[in-house]
Structure 1
Amino acid sequence: MNLTLEQMDALSEIANIGASKAAKQLSLLLHDIVEMSVPRLTIGSRREALDLIAVAPQDDTAAVFQKASGLLNAEVALLFHSQESRELVQALVGADLPLDDVDMSAFEHEAMTEIGNIIVSACISTIADLLGGRVSLTIPVYVEGSFSDIWHQLEGGDMPQARYMLVMGTKLSAVQRNVNGSLVITFSLDDLNSLLRQIDEWLAKMSS
């Protein structure tokens, strides 16, 4: 698929605005400065997208997945190394909670699910607002495991027929804490074509 320079620039701008909103939300949650890498875009297979995310297949990873529908039809994932997800939860509560291991694990899962929902919603809603539409998100799903296993679960989603996709990815890093996450948005080619039509309309309005 060949995109025009204007479309690529618009995709980059949209990704940057959405990721900036996500970084702001994480900053508010942590009461810390959150730095954001320039969002990277690539069109390729899901396997090729692994290079964009830059997480080793064997790394223990915590992830929150949501599906977007409406103006945008996409899969969104917020990824952290498992240890960093625990540090994120501890940073939010401010101190160790008097819970046993089982209760603490359940609390971490619930907290990470809510954190993921807040950050993903901020990003996707901002992109939808920018393009003048509305988006619905599914209930967030929290999973832990090796990154390769988590990515395999994503491959088993609603787009198994899509060999190629657009992937938007950015890194979020808290300055004062050892917390680094990745926000990834994937579109099938069919959904990318729909997104490009929305972008073309947006560009036409901007230039009129």
Structure 2
Amino acid sequence: MKLNPRQLDALQELVNIGIGQAAGILNDMIDSPIRLQIPYLQILSPTDVQEELEHHLNGEQIAAVQLKFTGSFGGIAQLVFPTNSAAMLVTMLTGEELGTHDLDSVKIGTLSEVGNIVINGVMGAISNVLQQRLNYSIPSYTEGTIATLLTSGGLSADTVVLLAQTRFIIERLHIEGDIILIFNVNSFDALLTAINQLAGGL
């Protein structure tokens, strides 16, 4: 699905607003400031997103937090990290050393909280700016391969995937992750309609 430059810019701005809000909350969780950047945003088919992520992550195992959203448009939102980046992020947030037993025990809770903050920041910005009501499920945590993750996301032929690469910058430590928003075509069309209405009113 092709978007015109105005639609793509609007989506980029909505995601940036959400990431900025999430960064503010995460800054309060640790002593070191966190900056979140989104270098690029892409609209992809299910086949293309799997190829893109497998190439980007070099086939690594991933840690992911996902939640479902319903309302004016529905789908699944996921925050995905390579497992090494996930471990580094948990260490920075909790002070637990890499490789310790305690790190494993706190990892799921910590990453679920981070995922919840980032995903809700992005989806909250989209729903608030576009004045659309959304409801969210409780976030769930999983580890595995990209293929397993995307299968759990319920990808089908009529799925549209919004992929945004995210960089967490903490004291010069670059931890990368990906935000994946999965829509069926009807839901994505509803999102674009809301964006077009907003743009038309500006």
Q: Same fold (TM over 0.5)?
A: yes
Q: How many Å apart are 1:51 and its aligned residue?
A: 4.5
Amino acid at match of 1:150: L
Counterpart for residue 198 of structure 1: 194
CA distance in 1 between counterparts of 2:40 and 2:60 reads 22
- Counterpart of 1:107 in structure 2 is 106
SS at match of 1:38: strand
The two structures have a TM-score, normalised by structure 1, of: 0.80
Q: Which residue of 2 aligns with 1:121?
A: 120
Corresponding pairs, count: 198
Q: How far apart are residue 71 of structure 1 and its match?
A: 3.1
Aligned to 1:59: 60
Separation in 2 of the partners of 1:83 and 1:5? 35
8 Å CA contact retained: 1:131, 1:199: yes
Partner of 2:70: 69
The superposition leaves residues 32-86 of structure 1 with CA deviations (integer Å, 9 ceiling, x where unpaired) of 34241333122x4212013544533630110001111123423111111112212
Residues 192-201 or 33-42, more deviating: 33-42
Alignment RMSD, CA only? 2.6
Q: Give the C-alpha shift of residue 128 in structure 1.
A: 0.9
Partner of 1:140: 139
What secondary structure does 2:156 align onto?
coil
Change (3 A) 1:106 1:13: same
State the AA in 2 paired with 1:69.
T
Partner of 2:162: 167
2:9, 2:80 → 1: CA distance? 26
Match of 2:87 in 1: 86
Give, in whole Å, the separation in 1 of the partners of 2:92 and 2:123.
Answer: 25
Residues 154-203 of structure 1 deviation map (CA, whole Å, 9 limit, x = unaligned): 2xx2x5352x4142312223242352221122222111111112112212
Give the corresponding residue for 1:48. Answer: 48
How far did 1:21 drift?
A: 3.0
Q: Is the 1:125–1:134 Cα contact (8 Å) retained in structure 2?
A: no
Q: What does 1:12-51 correspond to in 2, within 5 Å?
A: 12-30=12-30, 31-42=32-43, 44-51=44-51
The question of whether the paired residues in 2 share the 8 Å contact of 1:66 and 1:137 is answered with yes
Deviations 1:101-143, CA, capped at 9 Å, x for gaps: 3x64232112211111111111111111111122211111100
TM-score (norm 2): 0.82
Residue identity matched to 1:117: N
Could you tell me the percent identity over the aligned residues?
Answer: 23
Tell me, which stretches of 5 or more residues in structure 1 are unaligned? none
3-state DSSP of counterpart to 1:179: strand
The SS at the match of 1:174 is strand
Structure 1 position 204, deviation (Å): 2.5
Structure 2 contact 10–195 (Cα < 8 Å) conserved: yes
